[in-house]
Structure 1
Amino acid sequence: MSSVPGHRADRTARAVLLASLGVVLTALVVPGLRSPLMLVAVWTAPVLVLAGRYRHDPGTRVWSAVAAMLTCWAAGFTAGQVLGRHHVAVVVCMALGQALGAFVVGHVVVLSVRHQGSARAAGSGGSLDAVIVVTVGVTVAAQLATLGVMTPYFVVVASVDIAVAGVVVKFALSRSGLGPASYLALAGGLSSLVYDLSTALENSRLAQPGSAVGLLGTIAVLAPACAAVHPRVRAVFDPVTFTRRRPDSTALLGLLPLVLLPAGLTVVVSASTGTRAGVGTLPPWVVPAAGALVAALCLVRAARALRVTERLAGRDPLTDLANRRGLSHAHERWAGPVGLLLFDLDGFKHVNDSHGHDVGDLILLAVRDRALTAVAGRGLLARLGGDEFVVLAAPEHLRDVAADVLAALGPPVRLPSVQTRVGASIGLVTADVTPDVTTDPVPLAELLTRADIAMYAAKAAGGDRVVAFTPRMRDAVSARYALGHDVRELLDGAPGAGRLDVHLQPVVDLPTGRVVSAEALVRWQHPSRGLLTPDAFLDVVTDLGLDTRLDLAVLRTTVGHLRRWRDEGRPVLPVSVNLTGASLDAPDLATTVLAVLADAGVPASSLRLEITEQEEVAVSGPAAASLATLAEAGVVVLLDDYGTGFTSLDYLSRFPVRVLKLDRSLTGGPRPGSPSPSAVAGPRAARPVEIVRAVTAMAAHLGLDVVAEGVETEAQRAQLVAAGVGQGQGYLFSRPLPAADFARAHLPRAVPART
């Protein structure tokens, strides 16, 4: 309903604008119609302004003043047509109109000055702009004050018009987002100033009848009328309009008219003093001196803008730390030995994916504040981009600074919407660590490369630690890069890249030992490195953003095995496939999985999907809807590694989970040589078996099955059965087996194979 008035307002504004253009074009083509059309325009304009004010309710008295100004001009123009251009009635009407125009201009100036504070705070030179405008205004006022009462009329009017026109142009070029209504109003103001200046040079209030200057008068009255009926008329005098400033590179152009004003004033006054004796004027040196002062102030303003731009070019816009360019300049100016820390936040990508980039920015600002405190003047903190930060410091301070940064980032970051911990992986390098013998200083790019290698070594070691660069690390990076290339080749199906294998580990009924399902575990038969387990290549897959492609490849391979068992006449047990967070965030997950099952002719009940609570999944993402669609089709959803994350109950409420897989930390007991959990946590801490009983009780209440991972001994099996766990998997029953071996061991043929 609200859209209809808006459409009508748009149509009305377009109709008025087209009609105004038609009037101007007709007056341009047919000189004899200029005076009649001008008469129609000057009386139509105030009516349109009042109608626009009534229709759109701009909420300001300025438009009433504009309507009154246009009415005075209409009366003066009409009197000029009847009584002559120099009649006293014309002078009175036009003077009243100009007085009202001065009120409008004064209102704009007040709004501009009132909102200069934000410009000065931003360092955009608003104070110098004001000094330049005041210098020009004082020069004009001083010149007018010395001319005396016998000054020709056109000298006074022309001087004022030149000054006001310069200020209007500066305003238009220094503000952004003015909108159509604002530009129409500015066009009207400039047209009226040029019209007034042209007629003043003829020593008259009005242009000659039929003169081409009358076209400017027509535009001067119709442009503000078009602005008043425009739907965005509110923005013309809205204070917000005066706070949006253009970049300095554009705003500086607005100073050019102000630089030319003293010269224009000199020309006008010279014309007067050359034709009229006894006219006073300022000393000859004053106006040129004012012009030179304005030009100097403009140069200072430009220099300040350039310094601000140069500073911003070397600063990160979010944190205001040095960016890569600023870091390079600091490195060039560094005196003495230099070292470098590069740290990357652990798990920050999941924060952005789960909570959004706005929350991520707030966390980065918190990290900046903590890191600045940790560095404590011992070096320069910079941000390279994303969640990567650099500290440039003397070598003797590096390890202490690194330890202080780790300690500072240890406590959780608490925001109104989220609380999270952001650890860091830190790479450390000094300029004297070099694989070749040279006395040349190590370039910053090489230092960053070495620190990056060390940082990834820290991340690979588990994160939240400092690793110093050694030359041998390059070999590991080269191997990792080569492995990444091989992974891409593998997923692209390139010949010679090896093949993906899916090994299957049986899941058994704990009381009876009967195999009830299996878990698919990916392996890579590498052409030169042999059989690789997931630990050898999954982190490379994640770094390359290939998780979704690998998940799909494992899914297709697993479903292919299910189809092959069916065709061979073997019993088809459900098989579970692990999904990463990237796959869960894919909007087409359900469509893709169901299409793979349909192509193979495998029922959805034969497939299980495992999600892990260690993978942060966005609350607002598509995962919940995708899993609900799959569960409705018959796919069973398992929650893997239960008991190791922080969102277990949250995932149970968000996703259609049917099975809990207890992490081996709850089912396997302490590892050899490690202290018991009770010794570490204290005598009052619950033992794993008690936690398992609590989980099975909760699962029974929720109607969920429980599977225990890492079952390796008969004692564990008996303990889990006593705790109420129904199923388990582990080396006690079987290691992961190739698909063919799994089928021979656990899926005997019951019916003849299909042909």
Structure 2
Amino acid sequence: MEVSRRERRWVRASWAVVVAGALAAALALVVPPLREPLTLLAATGASVGTMLGLVRHRPRARRTWTLLALMVVLLCAALALPSLGPDGVPAAVAAFTCGQGVAAVAVLGLLRRRPTGRRRPRDGRSPGGAPRRVELLVLALVLGLTAAQVAALALPTVGRELGHVLLPSANMVVLGVCLRFLVSRRGLTRSTHLFLAAAVAISTYDNLQPAAAHRVALPGDPLQALGLLCLALFTAAALHPSVHEALTPEALQRRRAPSAALLGLAPLLAVPVGLWWFGRSAPPGAGLPVGAFVVVGAVLAALCLVRGYLALRGSEHLAEHDPLTDLLDRRGLAAAHARALEEGGAPALVLVDVDDFKQVNDAHGHDAGDALLLEVRDRLLAAVGPQGAVARLGGDEFVLLVASDAVDEVVARVLAELRRDAEVDGLVVGCTASLGVVRPEPGEELGVALTRADVALYAAKAAGRDRAVGFEPALQVAVADRVRTGSEVRCLLAGEPGAGALEVHYQPLVELATDRVAGLEALVRWRHPERGLLAPGAFLDVVSSGGLDARLDAAVVRDVVAQLAAWRARGTEPPPVSVNLTAGSLVVPGLARQVVARLASAHVPAGLLAVEVTEHEPLPEDDVVAENLLALAAAGVAVHLDDYGTGYTSLDYLHRFPVEVLKLDRAVTATVVGERCSPVVAGLVAMARVVALDVLAEGVEKAEQRDALLALGVRYGQGWFFGRPVPAAELDHRALGRVAAGPPVPVPVPRAGGARPSAARRREQPRPPRAR
């Protein structure tokens, strides 16, 4: 992650505090008269520095750090108050004790919090549950031994002698826990490291304090040097920018590998030795016998061996299970499939893909996506039951292994379970899936079965999603053809030899009242080297799914502009030509500038080009699309809305974009039968008239349709009745000749600001569109 210059200054300040604290501690050890003034200076600086760091960096674990800041202030008071004389010592002890109590409250509150987004499966399995129980048992034994030693020493002693054992014993436990935490967690921030170092230092300070009645270093005591270092470490932890993420539940739950977690138990093994060492000064007969420490130490060692065995099993588990869902991964799926074959029954395989999962990730973030995957996991486990197996291959793909005679029932349950809405982080999202089903064949390998299931899954997606499709050999042929077509299209757009060539055909757009060709629509074709001339339906889906829309649009625009320039060079003034621009092009920043520059370099007036936005394809609601279309309109390039009446957000598009012409979809035009009036067409034409837009009807195939559309107020038409799409060479003798014979078609002057022209102006100059 990139660190700003200001954050680098705070990092340097944090480490400067650590260095200054170390130098001050060394100076205090060498020059005893400086111990008291350095302590006072460090206490003041630590109080101010800690507050400054927390205010500046605003840690996410705000409650925890607020309590820790209070602990630092109390520690500063405990170290400074003895300088007031004997009367200040009791207050210093009280401040030190209160500081430890505040720290205990902060740590307990931190342990109670849990990160969000992770849940146990409904079957009750908890990955890593047994190792954690062993670790808790080790910690319970250590705490129990500490409590027993304190109790045994308390029986024959009173107050002051009890403090000699109770406080060092508690500090031994704190030291062991801090060291274990440092070893067993990964990805800890620098602030967390500094805080743990400070915690170890203050526990050591408390253990080395010889005057248990005081519990704080008196003026001139060499331990004041260690107190200086403790204050510096706490202050540096608060000043470091990483304090913003320090001690959050998510950060504290990032565990290291099982081997590192096992190493983290080693510090706790030293606690019995430390308890025995500090109990030696107790009166004879007080405290636990040496045998108790030996027995507990042996039990702890045995538990560590058990934890090591569980660590090995955990490593094997992680090698075959997905870390997010704890389902089988690809390796675990292979092992489960092999076991099923050994048991004598080839299982059926169901490949599950969550529909529109990417939209959840994009709209709500990856945490919400992970939560949805966990919900899907729970539902799949419930649908499959204990007799089957569920695996996650990655992303939103899951695999089910079920008995072949129960596959239909399981598939029905899966579809029913996943059709229920899911609640993710307080949001209700739709949750459906597409399934590819493969029934077992003798001797079939898992890889082959997965390939066949993927083919069936693709067929389910293509059929509308939220369904299951069984594998058939014909499906594999279709998918293979699609993959081959996708590869060939990439070669075509890259200009590689042998891939064929794109051809642009032109279909006339006719003014119904005069039969005059008012424009042309450019439709792309592919001259395939083996399959001949391919219509758009043979390859546009592959282009769209492969993210090649923008490249194909650019190639068509280039060819159309070149053809317009060629016609003008021969002395023919062509009609406007409309070119479709897909969402993949319109979201490209600077698209309008590129199109206008291409027109200018070819000396083609912008009014001879129109761009077409299809209503069948939803456009993203961002500023780039609107900026491109407004810039094109401002340059004189008209904007048309294609497939009107059957798409997504017609009125929204009319509001957002500078549309001049509506092209009625052929499905809408088909409602005009003979000379019978269509109320749908009549309503759309009336709306267009109100907003001063021209209307063009697609799919006009009969003279009766033309007459009826004209009577309804439709100005332009397109369809086989007027002419089929043909190459430019054939168009020269047909449409261009008809334009020359009819009334002249004026080329509009580019208008500034992209403002919509008046209705009268558009009546004089039409702008028909294009389909690919």
Structure-1 residue corresponding to 2:616: 614
Q: Secondary structure at the match of 1:506?
A: strand
Shift of 1:349: 6.3
**1:718 maps to what in 2?**
707
Equivalent residue of 1:139, what SS? helix
- 1:533 positional shift: 1.1
Tell me the SS of whatever aligns to 2:734. Answer: helix
Query: Normalization by structure 2: what TM-score?
Result: 0.77
Structure 1 residue corresponding to 2:253, chosen from 239, 245, 253: 245
**Matching residue of 1:747:** 736
Judged with a 3 Å threshold, the aligned counterparts in structure 2 of structure 1 residues 348 and 215 are, in CA distance, closer, same or farther, namely closer
Question: What's the offset of the Cα at 1:658?
Answer: 1.7
Instruction: Verify the 8 A CA contact 2:670 2:699 in the aligned structure 1.
Output: yes
Stretches of structure 2 lacking an aligned partner (at least 5 in a row)? 56-61, 121-125, 742-772
The whole-number CA distance in structure 1 between the counterparts of 2:449 and 2:590 is 43
Q: Shift of residue 551 of structure 1? A: 1.3
Once residues 361 and 245 of structure 2 are traced to their aligned partners in structure 1, the CA distance between those partners, rounded to angstroms, is 36
For this pair of structures, how many residues does the alignment match?
709
Deviations 1:460-480 (A, max 9, x none): 566666544344554444433
**Counterparts of residues 129-528 of structure 1 (less than 5 Å):** 129-147=135-153, 148-149=156-157, 158-172=168-182, 183-198=193-208, 200=210, 215-226=225-236, 240=248, 244-247=252-255, 249=257, 253-269=263-279, 272=280, 278=284, 280-297=286-303, 323-334=329-340, 335=343, 336-344=345-353, 380=389, 382-399=391-408, 401-402=410-411, 426-432=435-441, 440=443, 442-459=444-461, 467-471=469-473, 473-528=475-530
Tell me, yes or no, if structure 1 residue 705 matches structure 2 residue 724: no
Q: Which residue of 2 aligns with 1:730?
A: 719
Structure 1 residue 37 corresponds to structure 2 residue 34: yes
Instruction: Find the aligned partners of 1:485 and 1:504 in 2 and give their Cα distance.
Output: 27
Q: 1:295/1:358 Cα in 2 relative to 1: closer, same or farther (>3 Å)?
A: closer
Alpha-carbon distance in 1 for matches of 2:417, 2:656: 34
**Superposed displacement of residue 700, structure 1:** 0.9
CA distance in 1, matches of 2:424, 2:244: 38
Alpha-carbon distance in 2 for matches of 1:459, 1:134: 54
- Partner secondary structure for residue 744 of structure 1: coil
Query: In structure 2, the residue corresponding to 1:36 is in which secondary structure?
Result: helix
Show CA shifts across 1:79-120 (max 9, x none): 7xxxxxxxx999968855653454244334432454379899
Equivalent residue for 2:766? none
Cα distance in structure 1, aligned partners of 2:9 and 2:87: 39
Q: 1:139 to 1:101 in 2, by over 3 A?
A: farther
1:619 to 1:45, Cα distance in 2 relative to 1, 3 A: same
Q: Distance in 2 between matches of 1:174 and 1:710?
A: 71
Letter of the 1:394 partner, please give it.
A
Cα separation, 2, equivalents of 1:517 and 1:479: 36
> Structure 1's 188 and 300: CA in aligned 2 closer, same or farther, altered over 3 A?
same
Corresponding residue SS for 2:733: helix
1:54-101 CA-to-partner distances (Å, cap 9, x unmatched) read: 76689857655544444444455897xxxxxxxx99996885565345
Relative distance call for 1:747 and 1:406 in structure 2 (3 A) is: farther
SS of equivalent to 1:285: helix
Does the C-alpha gap of structure 1 residues 346 and 185 become closer, same or farther in structure 2, counting only changes over 3 Å? closer
What is the identity, as a one-letter code, of the residue corresponding to 2:288? L
Q: Deviations over 1:490-529 (max 9, x none)?
A: 1111122211100111111122221111111111111122
Does structure 2 retain, via aligned residues, the 8 Å contact 1:614–1:645? yes
Q: By how many angstroms is 1:693 displaced?
A: 0.8
Aligned letter for 1:46? A
Is the Cα contact below 8 Å between 1:666 and 1:688 reproduced in 2? no
Residue of structure 2 equivalent to 1:555: 557
Residues 363 and 413, structure 1, Cα contact 8 Å, conserved in 2 = yes
Does the aligned pair in 1 maintain the 2:276–2:290 contact within 8 Å?
no
Compared CA separation, residues 170 and 619, structure 1 to 2 (3 A): same
Task: In structure 1, give the amino acid aligned to 2:178.
Answer: V
The one-letter amino acid of 1:730's match is: G
Backbone CA RMSD of aligned residues:
4.8
Asked whether the 8 Å contact 1:175–1:242 carries over to 2, the reply is no
Matched, 1:604 2:613: no
Change (3 A) 1:443 1:128: same
SS of residue paired to 1:703: coil
Please name the residue that 1:584 is paired with. Answer: 586
Structure 1 equivalent of residue 765 of structure 2: none
- Structure 2: distance between partners of 1:346 and 1:160: 55
CA contact (8 A) 2:96 2:216 kept: no
How many angstroms apart in 2 are the aligned matches of 1:319 and 1:15?
42
Residues 445 and 424 from structure 1, CA distance in 2 versus in 1: closer, same or farther, beyond 3 angstroms?
same
* Aligned residue identity for 2:712: A
Deviation (angstroms), 1:391: 3.8
Distance apart, 1:608 and its partner CA: 1.5
- Describe the shift of the 1:192–1:352 C-alpha distance in structure 2 as closer, same or farther (beyond 3 A): closer
State the AA in 2 paired with 1:259. L
Q: Deviations over 1:222-256 (max 9, x none)?
A: 433555777888998x8x56984332536665433
Counterpart among 10, 22, 25 of residue 24 in structure 1? 22
CA contact (8 A) 2:93 2:216 kept: no
Q: Give deviations 1:328-347, integer Å, cap 9, x for gaps.
A: 44433435132223355677
Q: Distance in 2 between matches of 1:231 and 1:486?
A: 52
- Give 1:132 shift: 3.4
Q: CA offset at residue 661 of structure 1? A: 1.4
Letter in 2 for 1:545: G
1:132 and 1:297 in contact (8 A); partners too: yes
Distance of 1:391 and 1:61 partners within structure 2: 49
Q: 1:322 to 1:657 in 2, by over 3 A?
A: farther
Provide the identity percentage: 42
The CA deviation at 1:423 is: 7.4
Deviation by residue 1:664-709 (Cα, 9 ceiling, x = unmatched)? 11212599xxxx9xxxxxxxxxx99211111111111111111111
**Following the alignment from structure 1 to structure 2, what is the Cα–Cα distance between the partners of residues 167 and 95?**
24
Counterpart AA for 2:275:
L
- Work out which of the residue numbers 41, 44, 49 in structure 2 matches 1:47: 44
Tell me if structure 2 keeps the 8 A contact 1:66–1:104. no
